[in-house]
Amino acid sequence: MSAAREFLLSVLPSQDIEKYDGEGKRIPSVTLTFAQSLDGKIAGSHGRQLTLSGPDSMLMTHWMRAMHDAIVVGIGTAHNDDPQLNVRLIPEADKLHIKSPRPVVLDAYLRLRTDCKLLKNYRDGKGQQPWVFCASDPESASTERLARKSALEAAGAVVYEIPCVSGLLSILGLLRKLHECDIQSVMVEGGASVINTFMKQASQPRGPGEPPVVDTLIVTVAPTIVGDDGLGYTVGVSGDKLSVSDHLVLLGMPTESLYQIPKFTHTRTAMMGRDTIIAGKFI
Ligand SMILES: NC(=O)C1=CN([C@@H]2O[C@H](COP(=O)(O)OP(=O)(O)OC[C@H]3O[C@@H](n4cnc5c(N)ncnc54)[C@H](OP(=O)(O)O)[C@@H]3O)[C@@H](O)[C@H]2O)C=CC1
Ligand SMILES: Nc1nc(O)c(N)c(N[C@@H]2O[C@H](COP(=O)(O)O)[C@@H](O)[C@H]2O)n1
């Protein structure tokens, strides 16, 4: 077995585990993953796409894609990188029984281009049919919006409408719908805003026995420095010893709805070529 595959099998959760959200609805397992430089950047200046991963860790990423039912990116990444999100690098001998994950784009206002590689690949038989998740808000019935939906569907996409929370698509709404559509495992690749949302979701206080929304975090750290004009990511929660919620407890205010620093525990670190892969789980 390849080193990358062995590593992933040791850090990803078993697919036999049934996962439920706080309201008892089934949701898929979630792996949040991305590549960053030593100075914490995921892209260059103005979001310019960078190849941070070396060949070995990139191969690991393709194995990871092969081990998930769906792969999620935000519309920022879809526009900026025009990614393919399919499995291409695995050697032919290992390719039997392997399929590319279902591409899923978070795109509240249906801005995805109809000539993007995801749709082209699907039409050419080189990837699964892309699913585009948009907002089910009152504006969704506008003529312009309906025209964009029809154009995307004609180009090969399936469009799903889900609710928004604070102006962004609801992550729980997304995960519930994905599970309804038989998706048991989701790999979230980015970009910066999507990483922020999933990190925040992983930090939300949960009821007893309720699993974290994000199960696994796998970060590739490349031995390179991008510089201050590169694009970094934020986790959306404070790491101060005395957190906002502590302050509110001191003030006697309710804190249930506040985010906490994600409770993260390290599982394994591996070198793949020149890159370091750090894996852990949210608890
Ligand atoms: N190094 C790496 O591993 C990776 C790097 N990247 C880099 O990341 C950059 C893109 O990041 P960014 O510009 O932040 O774009 P994202 O890919 O994170 O997309 C963000 C957009 O997605 C839409 N969206 C809908 N719902 C949500 C939600 N719940 N949470 C977050 N976003 C949501 C929003 O647009 P709307 O409101 O219109 O729907 C939002 O503006 C590129 O430079 C790319 O190269 C990307 C992936 C991996
Ligand atoms: N693992 C990893 N390493 C990097 O250096 C990267 N830049 C990325 N980016 C992600 O991969 C997408 C491109 O995928 P395709 O090669 O087009 O299939 C890109 O959009 C990011 O999501 N990942």
**pLDDT of 65-94, one tens digit each?**
999 999 999 999 999 999 999 999 998 888
- 128, 147, 163, 174 from 153: Cα distances, Å: 14, 10, 20, 19
Q: Determine if ligand 1 sits within 6 Å of the CB of residue 34.
A: yes
Residue 81 CA: which ligand 2 atom is closest?
20
- Show the ligand 2 pocket: residues with CB < 6 angstroms: 35, 49-53, 58, 61, 73, 77, 81, 83-85, 189-190, 220
Q: Determine if ligand 1 sits within 6 Å of the CB of residue 43.
A: yes
Which residue has the CA at smallest separation from atom 32 of ligand 1? 194
275: Cβ contacts below 8 Å, ≥ 6 apart: 35, 53, 54, 56, 57, 220, 221, 222, 223
- Which of 51, 116, 126, 218 is the best mutation target for the ligand 2 pocket, counting ligand atoms within 8 Å of the beta carbon and taking the most? 51
- Nearest ligand, measured from the Cα of 86: 2
CB crowding 61-78: b at 16 or more within 10 Å, else e: bbbbbbbbbbbbbbbbbb
In contact, 186 and 65? CB cutoff 8 Å: no
Q: What is the CATH number of domain 23-282?
A: 3.40.430.10
pLDDT, position 257 = 47
Residue 191 CA: which ligand 2 atom is closest?
22
Count of Cβ atoms closer than 10 Å to residue 247 Cβ: 12
Q: Determine if ligand 1 sits within 6 Å of the CB of residue 108.
A: yes
Q: Is the pLDDT of residue 47 over 90?
A: yes
Query: What's the length of the chain?
Result: 283
**ipTM of predicted complex:** 0.99
Q: Determine if ligand 1 sits within 6 Å of the CB of residue 109.
A: yes
Instruction: Identify which has the larger pLDDT, 226 or 259.
Output: 226
Query: Is 265 strand, coil or helix?
Result: strand
What is the residue whose two structure tokens read 């000539």? 115
Instruction: Identify which has the larger pLDDT, 124 or 97.
Output: 124
Q: Structure pTM?
A: 0.94
Burial of 14 (0-12, 13-18, 19+ CB in 10 A): exposed
Q: Determine if ligand 1 sits within 6 Å of the CB of residue 231.
A: yes
Q: What are phi and psi of 279, to 5 degrees?
A: -125, 145
- Under DSSP, the state recorded for 118 is H
pLDDT, position 105 = 98
- Nearest ligand, measured from the Cα of 103: 2
Q: Determine if ligand 1 sits within 6 Å of the CB of residue 168.
A: yes
In contact, 172 and 28? CB cutoff 8 Å: no
Q: Which two tokens stand for residue 241?
A: 């010893």
pLDDT, position 251 = 62
| Whole-number CA gyration radius for the chain | 19
Mean of the per-residue pLDDT values of the chain: 92
Q: Determine if ligand 1 sits within 6 Å of the CB of residue 74.
A: yes
Residue 81 CA: which ligand 1 atom is closest?
45
Q: Is the pLDDT of residue 274 over 90?
A: yes
- Nearest ligand, measured from the Cα of 275: 2
Residue 165 CA: which ligand 1 atom is closest?
29
Q: Is the pLDDT of residue 58 over 80?
A: yes
